[in-house]
Amino acid sequence: MDSLSVLVDRHDDGGMYALIRSFPAHLREGRRRALEADLTWPEDPAQVVIVGMGGSAIGGDLVASMARGSSPVPVEVVRGYTVPGYVNARTVVIVSSFSGNTEETLSAFDEAVARGATILCVTSGGTVQARAEAGGYGHVLIPGGMPPRAALGYSFSVVATLAERLGVLAPPDGAWEEAYALLDAQTEDLSNLEGNQALDLARQLTGAVPLVYSGNGLMEVVNLRWRGQIQENSKVLAFGNVFPELNHNEIMGWTYPDAFIGRLAVIVLRDRADHPRVLRRLDITGELLQDRAALWHEVHSRGESALARLLATVNLGDWVSYYLAVTRQVDPTPIGLIDALKTALG
């Protein structure tokens, strides 16, 4: 059997290993750019709407998740062609498109402009940059030349920093420094091709159908990111759900058919801030179902601040999806079916 380093050399033509390893550096640089950007907005915005798709939207999802319990105004993420009916002159719309050419995001951009909203753009170029410069809209440019999902460090840190400047997100003092330190150490560990936690989990997922469970708090969006990364990087279908809702319906789906259930590999993302009753539900559900699954693996978030716990768990999932790809001898970077769909759409 080929060593992991040989598999990486042979099957990572797109350089995804280096991009995931650069996640902490991308976070630092994105935050620097957002802090230094010369931007203006209304003193008392009524709401913040983040529009984007795929890898460009997930950063907004993570920010909205962190802001949910403390923001004085609603923070909503829109994945689609239209903005909510409430968008008006008191709304700040953050347009997040890595390429700058995302069809759905450009449509929502146009709608937000027509409604008189304040526009802030996060992009590496393309039509979004051109429109921002032509219209005088505030914008933060991030580096291009990588898959959007690999640019999360930039897109998250820019949107999070904009949210801080807008007054809708307030991480505790030292949270960013803690996140950087934790991610630096974790990157050294998880990039070790001699063996690490992410590689071990990836090997356990080989040949199974990943099913990601979490509470409906901080880990809910991390759950979505794990599934998206497994799907795009590993080219494997992945599914998921959240507590407590799944206890009211999906749990019964574990009854039949036995042959399919026996192929499910469950990854449970746990966080110390999950509601106490959700934690109890996680425990009981595991007792009821783990003997039916091919794998029942629990991941406990690491770190003190919500920011550190969020980013470290996201980063772990990125590494798991990477190792699942290369150990299956699949290049994690190409997205052939997505490219074919875009071509067919014209």
Q: Enumerate the active-site residues.
A: 232, 248, 342
Q: Tell me how far apart the alpha carbons of residues 199 and 176 are, in angstroms, rounded to a whole number.
A: 27
Compute CA distances 292 → 12, 17, 289, whole Å: 35, 34, 5
Pairing of β 239-243 and β 209-215: parallel
CB-based contact 315:190 (threshold 8 Å)? yes
> By CB neighbour count within 10 A (0-12 exposed, 13-18 middle, 19+ buried), where does 77 fall?
buried
